[in-house]
Amino acid sequence: MKKITVIGTGYVGLVSGTCFSEIGHQVICCDIDQNKIEQLKQMKMPIYEPGLEDLVRKNVHDGRLTFTSDVSVAIQHSEIIFIAVGTPMSETGEADLTYVKAAAKMIGENLNDYKIVVTKSTVPVGTSRIVRQIISKHAFTSVSFDVASNPEFLREGSAISDCMNMDRAVIGASSDMAAKIIEEIHEPFHTKVLITDLESAEMIKYAANAFLATKISFINAIANVCELVGGDIVKVAEGMGLDSRIGNKFLRAGIGYGGSCFPKDTLALHHLARVAGYDFSIIQSVIDTNDKQKTIVIDKLLKALGDVEGNAISVLGLTFKPNTDDLRYAPSLSIIPILLNKGAKVKVFDPIALDGVKRYFGASVTYHDDVYDALHDSDACLVLTEWEEIVGLDLDKAKSIMKEPIIIDGRNCFDLEIMNSRGFHYQSIGRPAVGEERIGNLAVTN
């Protein structure tokens, strides 16, 4: 059992801190946001993540997990310090390291004994060395310390299970001893451990995210070609995925990736490469393809309705994926303003994120916590997130309450045959529109 202090109690800090306490370590999660810490002490979760509250309660109850806003004391208390602060996108696209640097400074100022400072935040190659320099600069004593990079790979919405059953732990460290200690703290996870140098560990995180984003943009591009020449992207992806070299994951075509990671990490990698003298054109194409993909549903809507001015448009699903309340870089935040600019009356539904979205749209849209209320009297509906409530929609009921049975589905939630038999005007991504058969690049309307 080791003492671990986690600096930054956001998504990663809270989830990974809780999971490390669950496997037996003594964990202190600290944050400069006092309000967040006070809420956590009262067992109010700052994020929506299935299973998180129960696991936090259990570990707090068992005395392995505590929360504090006294970052200095928390640092002094532990031998292992995780840095899990945000690394947001700056205006130029590079990762903003302000919070990482501030955390390193605080660690230096509170270096009372040997410590291993582990960066879990996603950071550009070279950051661990910067962290080491900052700690040395601010340390009052000559106490020794190590730095390490141990990137986090969890996904929002399945974060607890991703963390408890991680595919691998990547560990880059400034000494063999530090690498061994970090490997040991992972032992109860029974996962594969890859020990690397610091730079490789940092690069693995960016490369993994950029590769996954590339898979998504690639399948979206194939979907767009299918719409022009024929083919059903769901079948195409299935056929590709059966090749074990390709695999079936991350081949779901849709309105593109959003979230707090892929958009910022692809840009940060592109920036990192450019500054180093390499034009990473593949990543630029991935980003451009994703940007265009977001608004494809608007083109389909305009084609179906002609004009949206004065029309009631239901937008179903606002978060960037289901099972999270995170709205960072969610496609809905790009799509709704376009609808509003075109004069549509926008009615939004999301099972979790309505409060969050009010910050962006105020009184300019109407908010519905019942999916059928959102569909009532609407001229068309856009599906942006595959929430269970949306995928499991009672289609007959939906059709009976909509003014026009037009569904533009950005997540391929519904079966084409079923939509056809129920009489919807249904368009999805990379699949033949209902009522339309394609032979080669020749569209034949039934």
Ligand X SMILES: NC(=O)c1ccc[n+]([C@@H]2O[C@H](COP(=O)([O-])OP(=O)(O)OC[C@H]3O[C@@H](n4cnc5c(N)ncnc54)[C@H](O)[C@@H]3O)[C@@H](O)[C@H]2O)c1
The residues in 235-274 that bind ligand X, with binding defined as CB under 6 A, are 260-261
Question: Is position 261 annotated as part of the catalytic site?
Answer: yes
| Chosen from ligand UPG, ligand X, none, partner binding at 320 (C-beta under 5 to 8 Å by type) | ligand UPG
Between 198-229 and 262-275, two packed helices, what is the crossing angle to 10 degrees? Answer: 120
Q: Interface with ligand UPG includes 216 (CB under 6 A)?
A: yes
Considering CB distances under 5 to 8 angstroms, the limit depending on partner class, which of ligand X, ligand UPG, none binds residue 103?
Answer: ligand X
Q: How far is the CB of 306 from ligand UPG (least distance, A)?
A: 29
Among 4, 5, 10, 289, binds ligand X (CB under 6 A): 10
| Site mask for ligand UPG (CB under 6 A), range 328-367, x = bound | ----------------------------------------
Which contiguous run of DSSP H or E holds residue 420? helix 416-421
Residue of 29, 80, 84, 131 that binds ligand X (CB under 6 A): 84
For tokens 């700056």, name the residue. Answer: 90
- Cα 401 from chain centre: 33
Q: Where are the alpha helices (DSSP H) in 230-353?
A: 233-241, 262-275, 281-293, 296-305, 331-341
Long-range contacts of 440-445 (CB under 8 A, 24+ apart): 440/229, 440/230, 441/228, 441/229, 441/230
Q: 252: annotated binding-site residue? A: yes
Residue 251 contacts ligand UPG per CB under 6 A:
yes
Note whether 428 binds ligand X by CB under 6 A. Answer: no
**Cα(239)–Cα(247) distance, rounded to whole angstroms?**
10
Rule CB under 6 A: say whether 218 interacts with ligand UPG: no
**Cβ(434)–Cβ(426) under 8 Å?**
yes
- Using CB under 6 A as the binding rule, the residues of this chain from 94 to 133 that contact ligand X are 99, 102-103, 106, 121-122
Which CB, 76 or 285, lies closer to ligand UPG?
285
Q: Active site residue: 19, 29, 261, 381, which one? A: 261
The answer to the question of residue 250 lying near ligand UPG (CB under 6 A) is yes
Among 158, 195, 145, which residue's Cα sits nearest to residue 173? 195
Instruction: List phi, psi (to 5°) of 367.
Output: -110, 135
SS3 content of the chain, % helix, strand, coil (to 5): 45, 15, 40
Identify which of 166, 157, 153 has the alpha carbon closest to the alpha carbon of residue 49: 157
Least CB distance from residue 421 to ligand X, whole Å?
A: 39
Q: CA–CA separation, 299 vs 183, rounded Å? A: 51
Site string for ligand X, 60-79 (x = CB under 6 A): -----------x--------
340's contact among ligand UPG, ligand X, none, with CB below 5 to 8 A by partner kind, is none
> How many alpha carbons fall within 13 Å on the CB side of residue 183?
14
Chain residues in the site for ligand X (CB under 6 A):
7-13, 30-33, 36, 71, 84-87, 99, 102-103, 106, 121-122, 152, 154, 156, 260-261
Catalytic positions: 261
Chain residues in the site for ligand UPG (CB under 6 A):
122, 152-156, 209, 212, 216, 250-252, 254, 257-259, 261-262, 320-321
Which positions make up the binding site for NAD(+)? 31, 36, 87, 122, 156, 264, 328
